[in-house]
Amino acid sequence: MTKSEAPYARERSIAIRAVLRASQLTSSVFDKLISASDSLTKSDKSPVTVGDFGAQAVVNSILATHFPDDPIVGEEDSSDLKTEEGKSIKEQVCRLAREALKGAATNCPGLSGQGVQKQEEEDLTEEKLLAAIDRGNHEGGAIGRMWALDPIDGTKGFLRGGQYAVCLAFIVDGVVQVGVMGCPNLPISPADPKPSGDKERDAQVDKSKLGTVYVAVRGQGAFQRTLHDETETRISMRSLSASKLSQASFCESVESGHSSHGTNARIAELLGIKNKSVRMDSQAKYASIARGDGDIYLRLPVGDGSYQEKIWDHASGLLLVEEAGGKVTDLRGQALNFGAGRTLRDNKGVVAAHWDVHGQVIEAVSKALMEEGRGSLL
Ligand X SMILES: Nc1ncnc2c1ncn2[C@@H]1O[C@H](COP(=O)(O)OS(=O)(=O)O)[C@@H](OP(=O)(O)O)[C@H]1O
The reply to whether 313 sits in an annotated binding site is: yes
* Binder of Mg ion out of 11, 150, 281, 293 (CB under 5 A): 150
d(CA 376, CA 28): 46
Among Mg ion, ligand X, none, residue 157 binds (CB under 5-8 Å by kind):
ligand X
CA–CA dist 183, 164 (Å, integer): 6
CA dist 124 and 127 (Å) reads 8
Residue 150 marked as a ligand binder: yes
- Of 134, 153, 281, 330, the one binding Mg ion by CB under 5 A: 153
Q: Is 134 a catalytic residue?
A: no
Q: Does 77 bind Mg ion (CB under 5 A)?
A: no
Which segment (114-122, 185-193, 194-202, 248-256) binds ligand X by CB under 6 A? 248-256
H helices within the chain, ranges in order?
9-28, 50-66, 87-101, 114-121, 126-134, 155-160, 199-202, 261-270, 284-290, 315-323, 355-371
Is the CB of 346 or the CB of 363 nearer to ligand X? 346
Q: Does the footprint of Mg ion cover residue 75 (CB under 5 A)? A: yes
C-alpha span between 227 and 93 (Å, rounded): 21
226 noted as active-site residue: no
Shortest distance, position 335 Cβ to Mg ion, whole Å: 20
- Site size for ligand X (CB under 6 A): 18
CB of 156 to ligand X, least distance (A): 5
Q: Using alpha carbons only, how large is the chain's radius of gyration in Å?
A: 20
Residue 75 among known ligand-binding residues? yes
Q: What is the DSSP letter of 32?
A: I
Residues 29-58, one symbol each (x = binds Mg ion by CB under 5 A, - = not), give: -----------------x------------
Asked if residue 212 lies in contact with residue 226, where contact means CB atoms within 8 angstroms, the answer is yes
Phi-psi region of 93 (alpha: psi -120 to 50; beta: other; left: phi over 0): alpha
- Site for ligand X contains 128 (CB under 6 A): no
* Whole-angstrom distance, CA of residue 331 vs CA of residue 238: 22
Which residue in the shown chain puts its C-beta closest to ligand X?
A: 255
122 in a known ligand binding site: no
307 binds, among Mg ion, ligand X, none (CB under 5 to 8 A by kind): ligand X
Q: Is 281 annotated as a binding residue?
A: no
Residue from 26, 38, 49, 52 carrying the catalytic annotation: 52
List b or e across 32-71, with b for residues whose CB sees 16 or more CB atoms inside 10 angstroms: eebeeebbbebeeeeebbbbbbbbbbbbbbbbbbbbeebb
Q: Please, which of residues 268-307 interact with ligand X by CB under 6 A? A: 281-282, 307
72 binds, among Mg ion, ligand X, none (CB under 5 to 8 A by kind): none
d(CA 178, CA 7): 10
Q: Which of 26, 65, 155, 263 is the catalytic position? A: 155
Beta strands 165-172; 210-217: pairing state: unpaired
Closest CB to Mg ion among residues 249, 316: 316
**DSSP single-letter state for residue 376:** G
Is residue 55 within 8 Å of residue 72, measured between CB atoms?
no
For ligand X, the closer of residues 48 and 188 by Cβ is 48
Q: Does 42 bind ligand X (CB under 6 A)?
A: no
Active site residues: 52, 155
Residues that bind ligand X (CB under 6 A): 46, 75, 150, 153-157, 253-255, 257-258, 281-282, 307, 310, 313
Annotated binding residues for Mg(2+), as ranges?
Answer: 75, 150, 152-153, 313
